[in-house]
Structure 1
Amino acid sequence: MAQPALSTTIDFALPPILHNAQGQVRTVGVEIEFVGPSAEKTVQALQEALGGRLVEEDPHAFALKESAIGDLTVELDSRILHPGKQAGTQRGVLPKIAALFGFAASYLVPCELVTAPTPIDRLQDLGRILTILRNLGARGTQDAPFYAFGLHFNPEIPRQDAATVAAFMKSFALLNPWLRREASPDATRSFLGFADPFPVKYVRRIAAPDYWPEIPAFIDDYLAFNPTRNRDLDLLPLLHHFDAERVRAVLPNEKINGRPTFHYRLPDARVSDPGWSIAPDWNRWVCVERLAADRERLDAVGAAFLSFEGEDKSWADVMEQIVRS
């Protein structure tokens, strides 16, 4: 008698704080990078499967409005190919050149699919996107060894206050050696310079149980150690949302769009793998939220880190025990 096939479906964990301060279910935006089908072909397939209204923003950037799983955008992931989105750009020669260059670059530059903010309790709906991409022949990390493809989460901050920002930053920094090990960054990503971890001096500063600054001091500390977007957890959009002038004083020309979300950057999008799901990476993010929500435990872990003298891989073992307990 044949044995039933094992289910490969992985449930999406819910964070300890599901609703924002207004009582609404928190949202998360998801970004997935891939190569293969063009942005236009991809958005047409999405529209066929999910319905909605297709909008062409330029020859290499498209939006799908009011689909069955909300709004989506698909575009080649390069600013120079979308001059119409840059302030002060006029219609004319430059957009035409960008369009022509984009058709050539489409063989080299990944596409980026970005969802609108999606209620956290509906993340499972986004699994339909991966099926559509696979059916189109989209390729990811395991198929293109000389490219770097990412998966990004943009979860809404549950409370817009200093204590919440500090708690999440502490939790993420303490868990990061374990997170990076579990995510198993592709060797190509390391070669191409995937996001650097937070400097040890910064982690030791924020890990202290008495480190609970107000927003201005937190921003100043963050920018002193991290004047860059090149971090696994990029806080610049969130900090820009809180105090744009303070952030711009240090980073006047950096591309930053302020929003009340974290920006969690992961190095691996295996879109052609039928067994790949975004759920495991999301569930590890929920581990960050759980530790952040437990002030007593968070302070204890921070104190333990300050007295720890081993290597990152050994600290990752410690954090794995914390997560599993």
Structure 2
Amino acid sequence: MTMEQACRMPSILNNQDGEERRVGVEIEISGLSYDSLVRLCGKLLKGEPHLTSRYVTRLDTPQGEYTIELDSDPIKDLDLQDDRLPDSIRELGGHAMEVIDAAAERIVPLEIVSPPLPLSELETMEELCNKLRDAGAVGSREALIYAFGLQLNPELPNLESGTLLAYLRAFAALYEWLKSRHQLDISRKFTTYIEPWDTDYVDLIMQPDYQPDRATLMKDYLHYNPTRNRALDLLPLFSHLDDDLLRQYVDDERIKARPTLHYRLPDCDIDNPRWHFSDVWNDWVVVEELAADAKRLQDLMAAYRESRKFSFRNLTTSWKDRCEEWLAQNLA
């Protein structure tokens, strides 16, 4: 593994309790059968598989419990072995399920969900992605119908309102740059679940005098973004912080409380030999470093506010290009 492929570490490694921060990872792929993927992951992760329901396997490993599943609830929930069904239906259904299985494994993504991993163990995901590629896994670029992602759930250093706001500002400022680097597939560009934050909301948080307490920060975000369908989804975090407040704006049983951000933007381009898990992670670390540096964050926020004004320069250059230039000069 080269230094360029290694996962960088952010400057803040521990949480408010002094423990090493963790990050959960979700990888969507195709190209392998479900059973083949379970066997391969069991071998690579040194885990013991346990099938818990149709197309859902728990993998007990030294790092914790991984989940391998077909990312489609209707197919996972099909149960043609139900004793309440007539024998004739179950027998006919068994043949139909063979066809459904074959089609589903080509169209619906197979998903690997990691346990919360210590930052120092993220190289496991780099190695796993490389081995999956060698085994024939494919990502979004393989077919127009695919819209596979690689999602990160990084634990925050602490849950103070100032820390949350710094992360929101850093991500908002870097969104166009991140999108240009990790939103490669046209099929995901047309989906709704990786939308940017509302523009008026971004303008609000970019104001230097915006210093909300935690409840106000949540209310403002939810007023403008009452949905899971955002490139950086805050609803799991808000459910952890104040579920009653969250449910005043969004009532969705899929929201699971956790003290993490939910970064959904990147494609999974696993069959591209030039793509690596660390590419995605290392760009997220840029968000981490900017959020941790108040002076640089304020400088980039000022540049963003300037980019929103009507001027010849703003008409002829993009914020993505100016952001990239700023990063080269300030975070090299």
Taking structure 2 as the reference length, the TM-score comes to 0.86
1:42 aligns with 2:37: yes
Q: 1:36 is aligned with what amino acid?
A: G
Letter aligned with residue 212 of structure 1: Q
Counterpart check, 1:23 vs 2:18: yes
Is the aligned partner of 1:52 residue 2:76?
Answer: no
AA matched with 2:5: I
User: What amino acid maps onto 1:44 in structure 2?
Assistant: R
Secondary structure of the residue that 1:65 maps to in structure 2? Answer: strand
For 1:285 and 1:261, locate their aligned partners in 2 and report how far apart those are by CA, in whole Å. Answer: 14
- 1:110 Cα deviation (Å)? 0.8
Matches within 5 A, 1:1-325: 7=2, 9-67=4-62, 69-83=63-77, 100=97, 103=101, 104-193=103-192, 195-308=194-307, 309=309, 310=314, 314-324=318-328, 325=330
Long gaps (5+) in structure 2 = none
TM-fit CA distance, 1:225: 0.7
Q: Tell me, yes or no, if the aligned pair for 2:59 and 2:67 is still in contact at 8 Å.
A: yes
Contact 2:45 2:61 in 1 (8 A): no
State the Cα deviation string for residues 239-272 of structure 1 (Å, max 9, x = none): 1110101111111135200100011113411222
Q: CA-atom RMSD, angstroms?
A: 2.6
Paired positions, count: 312
Query: What is the identity percentage for the equivalent residue pairs of Structure 1 and Structure 2?
Result: 38
1:3 matched residue in structure 2 = none
The answer to whether the Cα contact below 8 Å between 1:154 and 1:263 also exists between their aligned partners in 2 is yes
Closer, same or farther in 2 for the Cα pair 1:205/1:226, shift >3 Å? same
Name the SS of the counterpart of 1:266 in structure 2. Answer: coil
Deviation at 1:40, TM superposition (A): 2.7
The amino acid of 2:290's aligned partner reads L
Please give the alpha-carbon distance, in whole angstroms, between the structure 2 residues aligned to 1:36 and 1:231.
27
* Mapped contact 1:42–1:136 kept (Cα < 8 A): no
Q: How far apart in 2 are the matches of 1:317 and 1:116?
A: 36
**Separation in 2 of the partners of 1:165 and 1:145?**
36
Q: CA-to-partner distance for each residue in 1:68-110, whole Å, 9 max, x for gaps?
A: x5431110111223449xxxxxx8669x989949625233211
Question: Bigger shift: 210-219 or 125-134?
Answer: 125-134
Structure 1 residues 93 and 102: alpha-carbon distance in aligned structure 2, compared to 1, 3 A threshold: farther
Query: Which SS does the other structure have where 1:152 is aligned?
Result: strand
Stretch deviating more after TM superposition (310-319 or 138-147): 310-319
> How far off its partner does 1:33 sit?
0.5
Q: CA deviation at 1:136?
A: 3.2
SS of residue matched to 1:43: helix
Q: How far 1:127 moved relative to its partner?
A: 2.0
Distance in 2 (alpha carbons) for counterparts of 1:212 and 1:93: 59
The answer to whether the 8 A contact 2:236-2:261 is kept is yes
Deviation at 1:11, TM superposition (A): 2.1
Residues 311 and 126 of structure 1: CA distance in aligned 2, closer, same or farther (over 3 Å): farther
Cα 1:276–1:305 change in 2 (3 A) is: closer
Q: 1:204 to 1:146 in 2, by over 3 A?
A: same
Indicate if the aligned counterparts of 1:39 and 1:111 stay in contact, CA closer than 8 A: yes
The separation in 2 between residues aligned to 1:106 and 1:62, in whole angstroms, is 15
Structure 1 spans left out of the alignment, 5+ residues:
1-5, 85-90
Q: Secondary structure at the match of 1:288?
A: helix
Q: Confirm or deny: 8 A CA contact 1:39 1:62 kept in the other structure.
A: no
- 1:25 and 1:187 mapped to 2: Cα distance? 37
Moved more, 108-117 or 298-307: 298-307
Whether the aligned pair in 2 keeps the contact of 1:40 and 1:60 (CA below 8 Å) is no
Matched residues in 2 for 1:162 and 1:102: separation?
48
What SS does structure 2 have at the residue aligned with 1:71? strand
For the 8 Å contact 2:179–2:266, the answer to whether it is kept is: no
Contact 1:209-1:300 within 8 A present in 2 as well: no
Alignment partners' CA distance in 1, 2:282 and 2:130:
20
